[in-house]
Amino acid sequence: MTDYTIAVFPGDGIGVEVMGAAMAVLEAVEARHGFTLDKQSWDGGAAYYRETGNDLPEGAFEAARAADAILFGAMGLPDVRLPDGTEVAPHLEMRRAFRLFAGVRPARKYPNTPALLADPRAEGIDLIVLRESTEGLFASRGRGTVEDGRVARDTMEITRETSEDLFDFAFGLARRRAEKGRGQRTVTCVDKSNVFVSMAFFRSIFDERAAQNSDVTASHAYVDAAALDLVRKPWAADVLVMENMFGDILSDLCGGLVGGMGMAPCAEIGTDHALFQPAHGSAPDIAGKGISNPTAMLVSTAMMLDWIGERAGDARLVEAGDSIDRAVWQAYADGAILPYELGGTSDTRAVTEAVIDALR
């Protein structure tokens, strides 16, 4: 008997390697916390598309819909393109179809990792870029136009329903972080409302929801100023909520601030479904070498367990997620690991084993 079903998509490149790390850590916490996951693994991605002409096998999409959660490694290869010139990315269709509007992108500075900013306060970076993941400029994916080879157009789309859900999620996230002793119980709306009507609309809805969540401090920032402050004083940020494209860009900036994309986990959450994956790509340049950094994958896995546990009211999974999160932190704090990405010599296996050891 299994308690929950996980649809697993290792994908392309290093996605397969970091997913192996996640499976090893999940096996360890299942035994420790007394639950069992049915991990249903599926092919898919760019390499699969190159071989078959399909980005996912038959039944995979519906299996993802039926699962308690979806766990991704990485999908896409730069040299494999769809007829319109874009990369193969079935998870983008899952975002739309499953309405995964809340893209949670944490950025946290781990101990004993290289300091990329001179100010010692940068050791305290612990923030979240909350990226709306279903509309914004990405709503034009597959619908953009090119006229006579002279003009190309993509359209920004902001809806009230999705924005209200996103902002309510943001305020709830800030509360939960504060309860865990992280963050300052603040939410900042990042936009460009001084220029675009769509962004003025986005901000107006934020202000409406802020008035209904007055226990959380609400503020505003234009996206260019937010980018400046994320380099100048990222330790002052808590939850930053923004449109899809802005979130795509600023979350990668934040990954860079804490060491690289191998340190950048991601949860894409909707009302009824959620997908968890590292924010990095398939990194074909290092695939197969065994040196990929699985940290983001492991933290994403912890976020998955926490989400399932909270949703199901199952304390076992919430504690298991917390235990992975603590173990990753402890492995760095003990000086047991420093991945190649950060200038160290810890390969994928070494990082995985150190985190499993820290669970004990």
pLDDT (0 to 100) of residue 41: 98
Beta-bridge mates of residue 105 = 129
Cα torsion angle, 82, 17, 91, 250, sign: negative
Q: Quote the CA–CA distance of 181 and 123 in Å, as a whole number.
A: 16
Cα 292 off chain centre by: 17
Instruction: Provide the token pair at 175.
Output: 């509360």
pLDDT (0 to 100) of residue 73: 97
pLDDT (0 to 100) of residue 224: 98
Is residue 59 within 8 A of residue 20, CB to CB? The reply is no
Q: Quote the CA–CA distance of 287 and 12 in Å, as a whole number.
A: 9
pTM, 2 dp: 0.95
Cα 130 off chain centre by: 9
Domains and CATH numbers, the chain: 1-102+265-360 (3.40.718.10), 115-258 (3.40.718.10)
Beta-bridge mates of residue 128 = 106, 239
Cα 52 to Cα 24, 73, 84, 90, 174, distances in angstroms: 30, 20, 18, 14, 44
What is the residue-level pLDDT of the chain in tens, covering all 360 positions?
A: 789 999 999 999 999 999 999 999 999 999 999 999 999 999 999 999 999 999 999 999 999 999 999 999 999 999 999 988 889 999 999 999 999 999 999 999 999 999 999 999 999 999 999 999 999 999 988 888 899 999 999 999 999 999 999 999 999 999 999 999 999 999 999 999 999 999 999 999 999 999 999 999 999 999 999 999 999 999 999 999 999 999 999 999 999 999 999 999 999 999 999 999 999 999 999 999 999 999 999 999 999 999 999 999 999 999 999 999 999 999 999 999 999 999 999 999 999 999 999 997
Q: Quote the CA–CA distance of 190 and 84 in Å, as a whole number.
A: 31
pLDDT (0 to 100) of residue 55: 96
| DSSP H or E stretch at residue 332 | helix 315-333
